[in-house]
Amino acid sequence: MAGKKESTFINMVLVLFIITLISGVALGGFYELTKEPIAAAKLAKKLNAIKEVVPEFNNNPSDEVYKVGINATDTLEFYPAKMDNKLVGTAVKTFTNKGFAGYIWVMVGFLPDGTINNYSILDHKETPGLGSKMGAWFKQTDPAKEKSSVINKNPGKTKFIVSKDGGDIDAITAATISSRAFMDAIQTGYNEYIKNKTKEDISHE
């Protein structure tokens, strides 16, 4: 009887091992099958964001990308956009960790003088209907809401702080924390863009 129980136990362990092995192989295979499409989708999203935020270009900004580490884990990415080898703008993948729900990643396009051409929200977890409005809020075209827009404004000449805090940009209604975070991401991107653009200008003199 004891031998039968031992045999049954061994069989159960063996069956569980086989099931675990098969599941592991299946998951590994699924990951390999989906890895490239996921990477391709992320790349396509990034390229579309670059096209959205800078003037028309005919180079491949990804071929000329350079990166700047901000802290131990996070990096800004700079994508120079050129028309016939002349810089027309730079798309900067920037971020803030000051959002209401954590990180916010933004692709912002700067003209050579630092003026904002456009921006695109890449990733966030802000509250739907409130902080999530930042994708459109700061692109206001209504003259009555001009203070809510960052388009065609230069963070070096405009106080990129919400007006509630003494700045020049009106925050999203009922989403001040998200608005402050958005401004922080833009300002971080601008500061590093100007700093590194100055280095490039000096190196080419």
- Structural domain boundaries of the chain? 54-203
* SS3 assignment, position 147: helix
Question: How buried is 15 (Cβ within 10 angstroms: 0-12 exposed, 13-18 middle, 19+ buried)?
Answer: exposed
Q: What is the DSSP string of 64-116?
A: G-EEEE-SSS-EEEEEEEEETTEEEEEEEEEEEEEETTEEEEEEEEE-TTS-E
CA distance 14 to 150: 63
Q: For residue 141, what are the contacts with CB-CB under 8 A and spacing of at least 6?
A: 149
Q: Highest mean pLDDT: which of 4-8, 44-48, 62-66?
A: 62-66
* SS3 assignment, position 164: helix
Mean pLDDT of 161-165: 95
Band the pLDDT of 179: cuts 50, 70, 90.
very high
CA distance 5 to 104: 57
Structure tokens at 23: 């599941």
pLDDT in tens, 72-131: 889 999 999 999 999 999 999 999 999 999 999 999 999 999 999 999 999 999 999 999
> What's the whole-model pTM score?
0.78
pLDDT in tens, 141-162: 888 889 999 999 999 999 999 9
